[in-house]
Amino acid sequence: MLRTVTATRYVLPLREGGSLPAIVEADDLGSYVVKFRGAGQGPLALVAELVAGEIGRALGLRVPELVLMDIDSALGRNEPDAEIRHLLKASVGLNLALDYLPGSTMFDIAARDTVGPEEASLAVWFDAFTQNVDRTPRNANLLMWHRKLYLIDHGAALYFHHNWETMPEKAESPFTEIGKHVLLPWASQIKETGALAQQKLSRSLFAEILAQVPDEWLDPDAGGAAAKKRETYVNFFTNRLSAAGIFEQEAIDAHARLV
């Protein structure tokens, strides 16, 4: 179960992030990186962040702890920057936050960061499964912290959820974008890791994860569509898992083309 914390202090915007995420302190004295519901990407980015992040964790990948963060209208009332003030105002209610990893650095091949074949293969499998395009050398969205790899920024994953009509057919897509994955050069065990990954995922796990997504992210107009949407996601992931051979083969071929 995700914990829920309450924001107590807006500390610092992370200007490099496109959605203007920020470091925020909470009532449990923790520091978090917050993805705001009111940001331009919209609430589906928070759904993707939560759902993909928890699938990654279930697979055994390192993802900073995710929590729901309650923001009330007092936060940021005295914020001098108008853009930040508006963002906080539009985000009153539940937002998504990740445990802040102080001193972490972005995974960088030029800095000779490397990763083992099992972990790289699992990360590639995970990003193909969740259709995450945001893991390129230019924007790796991988942090090194105490010499271990952490996966962040899954807001652009699950891109199928921006178009419900074409969603069923996309469950079986090969995901050709995997060719640009920053860890693909190390991913020499996709078949073996994929077999293990498939054992860790199931319809009931997907349902457990979707149950934690706040209604208002799935259904901002409160039209009563949240339960139906959860079921559609669960069906999608269950179908994609059965068709995993398709995207696995695509990733294996893409890896073979590199070496």
Ligand X SMILES: Nc1ncnc2c1ncn2[C@@H]1O[C@H](COP(=O)(O)OP(=O)(O)OP(=O)(O)O)[C@@H](O)[C@H]1O
List contacts with ligand X (CB under 6 A): 14, 16-19, 21, 33, 64, 98-101, 104, 106, 134, 139, 141, 152-153, 155
CB of 141 to Mg ion, least distance (A): 5
CB-based contact 219:226 (threshold 8 Å): yes
Please identify the residue of the shown chain whose CB is closest to the bound ligand X: 17
Among 54, 119, 127, 153, binds Mg ion (CB under 5 A): 153
Per rule CB under 5 A, is residue 141 in the interface with Mg ion? yes
> Which tokens sit at 197?
């990954």
Q: Which is nearer to Mg ion, 140 or 213 (CB)?
A: 140
List Cβ neighbours of 214 (8 Å cut-off, separation of 6 or more).
68, 94
Q: Which is nearer to Mg ion, 119 or 153 (CB)?
A: 153
CB of 162 to ligand X, least distance (A): 16
Per rule CB under 5 A, is residue 193 in the interface with Mg ion? no
Q: Which is nearer to ligand X, 183 or 197 (CB)?
A: 183
Total binding residues for Mg ion by CB under 5 A?
Answer: 2
In this structure, how many other beta carbons lie within 10 angstroms of the beta carbon of residue 46?
26
Half-sphere CA count of 252, side-chain side, radius 13 A: 12
Per rule CB under 5 A, is residue 19 in the interface with Mg ion? no
Per rule CB under 5 A, is residue 177 in the interface with Mg ion? no
Look at residue 100 and give the partner it binds from ligand X, Mg ion, none, a contact being a CB closer than 5 to 8 Å depending on partner kind: ligand X
Look at residue 18 and give the partner it binds from ligand X, Mg ion, none, a contact being a CB closer than 5 to 8 Å depending on partner kind: ligand X
CB of 29 to ligand X, least distance (A): 16
Look at residue 16 and give the partner it binds from ligand X, Mg ion, none, a contact being a CB closer than 5 to 8 Å depending on partner kind: ligand X
Instruction: Name the residue among 60, 132, 56, 158 with its Cα closest to residue 98.
Output: 56
Per rule CB under 5 A, is residue 189 in the interface with Mg ion? no
Residues of this chain that bind Mg ion (CB under 5 A): 141, 153
